[in-house]
Every structure is written in C-alpha cells, then in structure tokens.
Amino acid sequence: MQEIAFYNDQFVDMNEKVVPIQERGHQFGDGIYEVIRVYHGVPFYLDAHMQRLKKSAAAIELQLPFSVAEIKELCMEGLRRSDMEEAEIYMQITRGIHSRQHHYPDQANSVFSMTVRRAKIISSQVRTEGINVLTVEDDRWKKCYIKSLNLLPNVMAKQKAITNGCQEAVYHDNGIVKEGCSSNLFIVKNGVLATYPALDGILHGITRQIVMELAKERNIKVVEKTFTLDDLKQADEAFVTSTNMEIVPLKQVDEDILPTERPISNQLIKAYQRKVLEKVTS
C-alpha cells in the first residue's frame, strides 16, 4: 500500500515539488476542493461529492479541467495504484497558473490535483466518550457553502480549540450556533434533532444530509432551524458530522458538560455504520 498523488495531467510522487509559484490556488486560494472517504475500496457517496464539486465550481465561475466521469475514473485509478481499502481521497481544482493579478485571467487553464491517503480512523473510545469543543465567533466569509481553499479562519479556530484542550471549534454568529470549523453540528432536545439550515453560511455537508435521512427513516423528527449557544449547552445530546469523523458526540462545550446518555446519537452512529456496509457491499 502506498499514498498516491496526481497533478494536472499525470500521477506523481507524493513528495515531488509540482506547484509553481504563479499558481492561483497557491497565491489566492482561488480554487475548490472535496474530500471523499473510501471504505473497503469503495468511495462513499462519490456521486454526491461530485455534485457538490460542480456546485462549488459554478459558484466561483471555475471550469472543471476534466468531466465528472473522468474525475471519477482518476479516483478509481488512484485507489488501484494505492492498493488501499480504507482511504481518503482529497482533490482540488484551481484556476491554474498565471501572472499575479486579482481578477480572473482571460484564458484560465484549470488544474486538477488529487491525493489518496490512509483514512483517519476515529477510535471507538472517542466515539463512545465524545469530544470537547470550544465556541468561537464566526469570522469567515458569507459563502461557506462553497468548498473554497480559503480556510485560514478555520485553521485559526481549530488551533485555538487545540490550544484550549478541545478537539473542535464551533462557530456562532452573535450567539447563533452554525457549525464546526471542519464539521456540521446537530443537537437533540426532547427527542427532536436540530441543525442549522442549509443556507450560504454553512457547508452543505454530505454526512449532514445522510444523517438527516437516516433520522427520518427512524421516525426521529428533524428540523433545520437556528438555535443559540444556550440551546447547545443545555441540549440533551449534541454531535458533529463530517466525511472523516462520520458522527462524533460532544461531551463538553466550553465549560459545560453535556449528558452522557445519548440514545439518538448512538442510534444514528449504528445506522450510519450499517449504511456504509450497505453501500460497499451492494
């Protein structure tokens, strides 16, 4: 097994220096990305990730350098070369190489990059015990539904969380809770599952959508609505979702301890694991 990289039009060594100084992704963050989890050699919800990639590209007027079918084939070829069963595919598309100017080049040549790496596995202990989160004021731009390469505010929020002994940062806007810096967020109160609406200000997470569908299949009421920091800290249960973390409960928000009984969270964790098996064996 080995980690695999692809740049522009060919597979390259993971450590090869391939990004030119005039690359707009490097200079401006002028690009988009996706992360896809691979279970037992099968990319999970690949089509949904491709649809979101197209949506992000359209939002910043970026031409994809390959068709969706070709990108999917590159993913599969990377997996074949890596020989990995449990992997993470990271891909990004930038507006390419051009002399430094803020506006779009008249003739941009988009560049596709991809890596296939070993998956980050969340331990059963962490999934059982939960994680601590730190709440921070949302200082990002207003179009977080685009999976843009501009992630410096997220990086700074995550570092602040780590420095304060937490594993994730949760954004709020004047006390209205939105999402984690690398995850979506759900709370449970009186048996109702709530999450911030899929507006421009949050990422429209693939795992987020799967969790809502799984909850509805199990007759768990789901509402997309705004809620406050107090609602989060007084929730019966809370958890974050992402491609890599899947579903991870929260045990502490700032200094507030959440209940350890998590019947709905645990039910959805098991349902998600069954969904993975269903997808990879179908």
216 noted as active-site residue: no
Q: Which of 120, 147, 233, 251 is catalytic?
A: 147
Strand-pairing partners, residue 241, are 184, 247
Look at residue 255 in the predicted model and tell me its pLDDT.
97
Q: What is the block-wise mean pLDDT of the chain (282 residues), using blocks of 10 residues?
A: 94 92 95 98 97 98 97 98 97 96 92 97 95 98 97 98 98 98 98 98 98 98 98 98 97 98 98 95 82
55: how many CB neighbours lie within 10 A of its CB?
A: 14
- Using CA atoms in the order 79, 80, 83, 85, what is the torsion angle rounded to 10 degrees? 50
Look at residue 282 in the predicted model and tell me its pLDDT.
77
pTM: 0.96
Look at residue 241 in the predicted model and tell me its pLDDT.
98
Structure tokens at 9: 């039009």
Distance CA 202, CA 186 (A): 13
Look at residue 107 in the predicted model and tell me its pLDDT.
86
Look at residue 111 in the predicted model and tell me its pLDDT.
97
For 274, residues 6+ apart whose C-beta sits below 8 A from its C-beta are: none
Sorted by where each starts, the structural domains of the chain and their CATH numbers stand as 4-118 (3.30.470.10), 124-281 (3.20.10.10)
For 154, residues 6+ apart whose C-beta sits below 8 A from its C-beta are: 140, 181, 182
Strands 184-189 and 237-242: antiparallel
Look at residue 123 in the predicted model and tell me its pLDDT.
95
Task: Find how far residue 234's CA is from the centre of its chain.
Answer: 26
Name the residue type at position 20: P
Looking at residue 133, the DSSP 8-state letter turns out to be E
Look at residue 108 in the predicted model and tell me its pLDDT.
84
Structure tokens at 217: 């299949």
Q: What is the CB-side half-sphere exposure of residue 275 using CA atoms within 13 A?
A: 20
Q: What is the pLDDT of residues 122-142, one digit of tens each?
A: 999 999 999 999 999 999 999
The answer to whether the CB of 20 falls within 8 A of the CB of 226 is: no
Q: What is the pLDDT of residues 66-101, one digit of tens each?
A: 999 999 999 999 999 999 999 999 999 999 999 999
